[in-house]
């Protein structure tokens, strides 16, 4: 199956669903105005993948910020992943910044709503690397 | 759970209505860094692009903003006092076809006179004389201790084609507050009395506004059209300004919901193809960040929104969580924006009730103010 690769923008995440290389990851921020439109092709892709999944799939959710419109769509993804889990081995890794208790609780919330195995992965960001200060002169 | 006080909800519409539909006002107060300056510029730029057709005019406005912001960054005195009346200010206002850029920062009283003299000197020169002085300073390499040489002031006067308006406000024995204002597009050098008056009004107006914002501990105020571009710029300013910690994350999340609320739902009878008119401001008190948004909504929706807010405000944490889950699980809900999920999320993240106010504007529209806060830890 052909990989789904969507590059990150300022307000939408990077998505790599690549069965050949066994990489399934959503990262960066998800703040689109129209989350339904953005996630529609992702959901479509998963529906196709569902028919013939790898024996084992690990989905990494590594999102830094998301709006509530996106959280509904992310749950739609997780809902489908839960179905894939019915006939293959699936794990969701939910990554969150140690200071982001809301991202953590969203992960915890999802674990209560689906059966698929969930791993909550806490990470600590290095001192926010200060963006280069350049002079205007 | 704490109730966010209603104290400043009436202020929102007063601030909002200062700016006519189609105009904008953006104000930042606080400490200035180069990094932040860049973000402020990108916000101002994205607004300018929509209004200013001529790129030469855009360049001039941009130049004056850069110069003004650099002045504040460079000259803000490393004061140990973090009093908010010492906060630097940057403001850009679009008032019909005029753009007014104001900066403000503290200055030690002993430097006031020499700065005043330099400003007056610049203001008394005509275009040719300014050019000559500019060349002179460049060739003699006479630089002030801050590396400015007054070149910045000369360039601002040249590019705006206008006199520089300024004002010094006495704070205490040691400090004064220095306001510098430039107006673009240029007018002729010979100004009539009406123009002089208008100019002093613009200065009085921004000083008055700065005092209100200071009293209400407001750090950032954006009043204009809301679209995704502006929203992303405002968010990156917040990201650049706040230390990364738990409270900052929450402020960011709630801001996203509030701002996108305006750009999605806020509307008005005029055609708004590039965003909806609204206002957002962020305040900081000793123990919390206060977030306030305001926008128009059709009066016919007010009863529904009010009811939804009351129901959500009455929920305890368990109920809020259950409601959230219910919407996630409900396959009939495709687009959650009408379900109040955003409000539920706001309550969960802030651990506060949502304060709100509706004010009837005309027979069709009302002004909807929303406020919540995040504890600083």
Domains along chain B with CATH numbers? 1-22+244-377 (3.30.565), 31-216 (3.30.565)
Q: Which pair of tokens denotes residue B183?
A: 């107006």
Nearest chain B residue to A136, by CA: B66
Give 10-residue mean pLDDT values along chain B (377 residues). 58 90 86 80 76 74 87 71 75 87 92 92 88 82 56 86 90 93 66 62 91 89 88 83 82 93 74 78 91 94 94 96 93 76 94 94 93 92
Tell me whether residue A131 is in a domain: no
Nearest chain B residue to A111, by CA: B325
Bridge partners of A97?
Answer: A123
Q: Can you give the pLDDT at residue B237?
A: 81
Which of left, alpha, beta for B125 (phi over 0: left; psi -120 to 50: alpha)? Answer: beta
Which of left, alpha, beta for B228 (phi over 0: left; psi -120 to 50: alpha)? Answer: alpha
B chain contacts of residue A134, beta-carbon cutoff 8 Å: 34, 38
B31 part of contact set with chain A, CB < 8 Å: no
A109/B321 touch (CB, cutoff 8 Å), yes or no = yes
B137 part of contact set with chain A, CB < 8 Å: no
B260/A67 touch (CB, cutoff 8 Å), yes or no = yes
For chain A, what is the domain count? 1
Tell me whether residue A77 is in a domain: yes
Q: Cα–Cα distance between B345 and A35 in angstroms, integer?
A: 16
Q: Cα–Cα distance between A111 and A78 in angstroms, integer?
A: 10
Tell me whether residue A128 is in a domain: no
The 8-class DSSP code of residue A33 comes to S
Q: Cα–Cα distance between B193 and B177 in angstroms, integer?
A: 27
Tell me whether residue A26 is in a domain: yes
Sequence-distant (6+) residues with CB within 8 A of B314 are none
A chain contacts of residue B235, beta-carbon cutoff 8 Å: 31
Tell me whether residue A100 is in a domain: yes
Chain A interface, best mutation among B148, B250, B256, B340, by max A CB count within 10 A: B256
B chain contacts of residue A73, beta-carbon cutoff 8 Å: none
Residue A128 vs residue A21, higher pLDDT: A21
Residue B187: Cβ-neighbour burial (10 angstroms; 0-12, 13-18, 19+): middle
Nearest chain A residue to B34, by CA: A133
B138 part of contact set with chain A, CB < 8 Å: no
Q: Which residue has the tokens 């929509």?
A: B50
A82: confidence class by pLDDT, cuts 50, 70, 90 = very high
A11/B232 touch (CB, cutoff 8 Å), yes or no = yes
Distance between A99 CA and the closest CA of chain B, angstroms: 5
Whole-Å CA distances, B168 to A9, B83, B87, B102, B106: 44, 18, 15, 13, 9
Query: What range does the domain containing A48 cover?
Result: 4-123
Query: Domain holding A63: CATH number?
Result: 3.30.750
B79 part of contact set with chain A, CB < 8 Å: no
Q: Minimal CA–CA distance to A91: which of A99, A81, A101?
A: A81
Bridge partners of B369?
Answer: B294, B357
How many beta-carbon pairs under 8 angstroms link A with B?
Answer: 74
Bridge partners of B222?
Answer: B26, B280
Nearest chain A residue to B255, by CA: A67
A133: confidence class by pLDDT, cuts 50, 70, 90 = very low
Q: Cα–Cα distance between A121 and A104 in angstroms, integer?
A: 9
Picking from B250, B329, B342, the nearest residue to A102 by CB comes out as B250
A130: confidence class by pLDDT, cuts 50, 70, 90 = very low
Q: Cα–Cα distance between B92 and B247 in angstroms, integer?
A: 28
Picking from B250, B334, B342, the nearest residue to A36 by CB comes out as B334
Distance between B342 CA and the closest CA of chain A, angstroms: 6
A99/B249 touch (CB, cutoff 8 Å), yes or no = yes
B34/A133 touch (CB, cutoff 8 Å), yes or no = yes
Distance between A95 CA and the closest CA of chain B, angstroms: 15
Picking from A31, A67, A113, the nearest residue to B325 by CB comes out as A113
Q: Can you give the pLDDT at residue B147?
A: 46
Residue B195 vs residue A66, higher pLDDT: A66
Under DSSP, is residue A28 helix (H, G, I), strand (E, B) or coil?
Answer: strand
Q: Is the dihedral of CA A83, A84, A85, A88 positive or negative?
A: positive
Q: Can you give the pLDDT at residue A135?
A: 38
Tell me whether residue A41 is in a domain: yes
B chain contacts of residue A135, beta-carbon cutoff 8 Å: 34
Q: Cα–Cα distance between B253 and B278 in angstroms, integer?
A: 19
3-class SS letters over chain B = CEECCCCCHHHHHHHHCCCCCCCEEEEEEECCCHHHHHHHHHHHHHHHHHHCCCHHHHHHHHHHHHHHHHHHHHHCCCCCCCCHHHCEEEEEEEECCEEEEEEEEEEEHHHHHHHHHHHHHHHHCCHHHHHHHHHHHHHHCCCCCCCCCCHHHHHHHHHHCCCCEEEEEECCCCEEEEEEEEEECCCCCCCCHHHHHHHHHHHHHHHHHHHHHHHCCEEEEEEEEECHHHHHHHHHHHHHHCCCCHHHHHHHHHHHHHHHHHHHHCCCCCCCCCCEEEEEEEEECCCEEEEEEEEEEEHHHHHHHHHHHHHHHHCCHHHHHHHHHHHHHCCCCCCHHHCCHHHHHHHHHHCEECEEEEEECCCCEEEEEEEEEEECC
Q: Cα–Cα distance between B173 and B109 in angstroms, integer?
A: 7
Tell me whether residue A129 is in a domain: no
The predicted-structure confidence for A4-57, as pLDDT tens digits, reads as follows: 999 999 999 999 999 999 999 999 999 998 999 999 999 999 999 999 999 999
Q: Tell me how far the alpha carbon of residue B292 is from its chain's centroid.
A: 13
Tell me whether residue A134 is in a domain: no
Nearest chain B residue to A36, by CA: B335
A33/B260 touch (CB, cutoff 8 Å), yes or no = yes
| CA-only gyration radius of chain B, Å | 23
| Diameter of chain B measured on Cα atoms | 75
Distance between B336 CA and the closest CA of chain A, angstroms: 6
């Amino acid at each position: 199956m052909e990989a789904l690769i969507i590059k990150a923008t300022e307000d939408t995440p990077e998505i790599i669903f690549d069965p050949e290389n066994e990489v399934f990851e959503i990262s960066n921020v998800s703040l689109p105005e129209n989350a339904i439109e953005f996630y529609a092709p992702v959901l479509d892709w998963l529906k196709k993948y569902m028919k013939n999944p790898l024996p084992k799939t690990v989905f990494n959710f590594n999102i830094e910020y998301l709006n509530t419109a996106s959280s509904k769509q992310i749950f739609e993804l997780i809902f489908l992943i839960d179905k894939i889990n019915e006939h293959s081995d699936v794990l969701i890794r939910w990554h969150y910044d140690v200071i982001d208790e809301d991202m953590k609780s969203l992960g915890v919330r999802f674990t209560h709503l689906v059966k698929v195995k969930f791993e909550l992965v806490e990470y600590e960001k290095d001192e926010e690397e200060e963006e280069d200060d350049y002079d205007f002169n | 759970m704490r109730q966010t006080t209603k104290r400043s909800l009436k202020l929102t519409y007063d601030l909002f209505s200062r700016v006519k539909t189609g105009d904008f006002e953006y104000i930042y107060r606080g400490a200035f860094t180069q990094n932040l300056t860049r973000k402020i510029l990108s916000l101002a730029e994205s607004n300018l692009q929509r209004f200013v057709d001529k790129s030469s005019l855009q360049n001039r406005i941009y130049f004056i903003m850069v110069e003004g912001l650099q002045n504040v960054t460079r000259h803000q005195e490393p004061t140990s006092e973090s009093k908010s009346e010492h906060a630097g200010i940057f403001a850009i206002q679009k008032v019909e076809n005029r753009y007014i850029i104001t900066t403000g920062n503290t200055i030690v009283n002993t430097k006031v006179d020499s700065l005043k003299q330099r400003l007056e000197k610049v203001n008394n020169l005509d275009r040719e004389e300014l050019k000559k002085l500019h060349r002179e300073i460049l060739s003699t390499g006479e630089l002030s201790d801050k590396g400015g040489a007054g070149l910045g002031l000369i360039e601002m006067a040249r590019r705006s084609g206008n006199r520089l308006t300024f004002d010094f406000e006495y704070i205490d024995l040691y400090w004064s507050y220095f306001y510098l204002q430039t107006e673009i597009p240029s007018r002729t050098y010979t100004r009539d009395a009406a123009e002089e008056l208008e100019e002093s009004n613009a200065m009085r107006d921004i000083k008055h506004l700065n005092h209100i914002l200071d009293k209400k501990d407001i750090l950032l105020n954006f009043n204009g059209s809301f679209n995704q571009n502006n929203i992303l710029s405002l968010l990156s300013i917040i990201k650049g300004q706040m230390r990364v910690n738990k409270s900052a994350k929450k402020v960011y999340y709630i801001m996203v919901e509030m701002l996108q609320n305006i750009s999605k739902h806020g509307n008005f009878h005029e055609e708004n193809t590039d965003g909806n008119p609204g206002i957002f401001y962020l305040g900081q008190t000793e123990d919390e960040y206060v977030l306030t948004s305001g926008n128009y909504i059709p009066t016919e929706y007010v009863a529904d929104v009010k009811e939804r807010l009351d129901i959500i405000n009455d929920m305890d944490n368990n109920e809020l969580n259950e409601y959230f889950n219910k919407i996630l699980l409900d396959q009939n809900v495709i687009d959650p924006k009408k379900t109040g999920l955003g409000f539920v999320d706001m309550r969960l993240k802030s651990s506060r009730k949502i304060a709100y106010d509706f004010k009837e504007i005309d027979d069709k529209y009302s002004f909807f103010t929303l406020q919540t806060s995040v504890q600083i830890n």
